[in-house]
Amino acid sequence: MISTKLHTAINDQINAELWSAYLYLSMSMDAEAKGFKGVANWFYVQWLEEQDHARILMNYLNSRDAKVTLKPIEPVRTEWDSVLEMFTETLRHEKVVTGLINNLAAIAAEDHDFASSNMLVWFVNEQVEEEESAREMIFATESVEGNKYGMYQLDKELAARVYTQASPLASSAE
């Protein structure tokens, strides 16, 4: 049985993942409005991935006979001054999410809830990837800053990014 503390924290994390999705959708729309279709695609894929993260947690709570309680999504920012600012905010946000995931893992460990601890390992590893990806995008954007052709090439490269369903969902019977 999942503890009340962990149950509440996972429901809060579901909300945080959905808020993250909303943030990345907003970034995608702002990038597209500014003519950066590849950057918009990169953030659109992030939007899909964050929804996957929420669904994994919802599936997990359901599997543990714990009620999923959806909460209102707080508003997100809708405009950024530059692509670099978007990616910088992405890294800052992913570091916050890493802290939230680490907190879930700490609660599961404190509860001696080995099933939850095991499930959360995927999220811990995913956050390493998320932060690394954001850092790479900051580096790439800084590398072409002020170079319109370089930004054009980077934008074209980001247009090729494709969505891959998160492995815990791909292996489930959904």
Report the pLDDT value the prediction gives residue 14, as an integer from 0 to 100: 98
CA distance 52 to 15: 12
Nearest-CA neighbor of 59 among 144, 152, 173, 142?
173
Domain boundaries, the chain: 4-167
DSSP H stretches of helix in 34-82:
37-63
Share of the chain above pLDDT 90, in %: 93
pLDDT (0 to 100) of residue 172: 62
- Write out the two tokens for 126: 């995913």
The greatest distance separating any two alpha carbons of the chain, rounded to the nearest whole angstrom, comes to 56
Give the model confidence (pLDDT) of 145-156 as tens digits.
999 999 999 999
- Tell me, what's the pLDDT at 39? 98
What is the arithmetic mean of pLDDT over 100-107? 98
Q: In this structure, which amino acid lies at residue 108?
A: A
Average pLDDT of the chain to the nearest whole number: 96
Once rounded to an integer, what is the mean pLDDT over residues 10-14? 98
Q: Could you tell me which CATH class the domain 4-167 is placed in?
A: mainly alpha
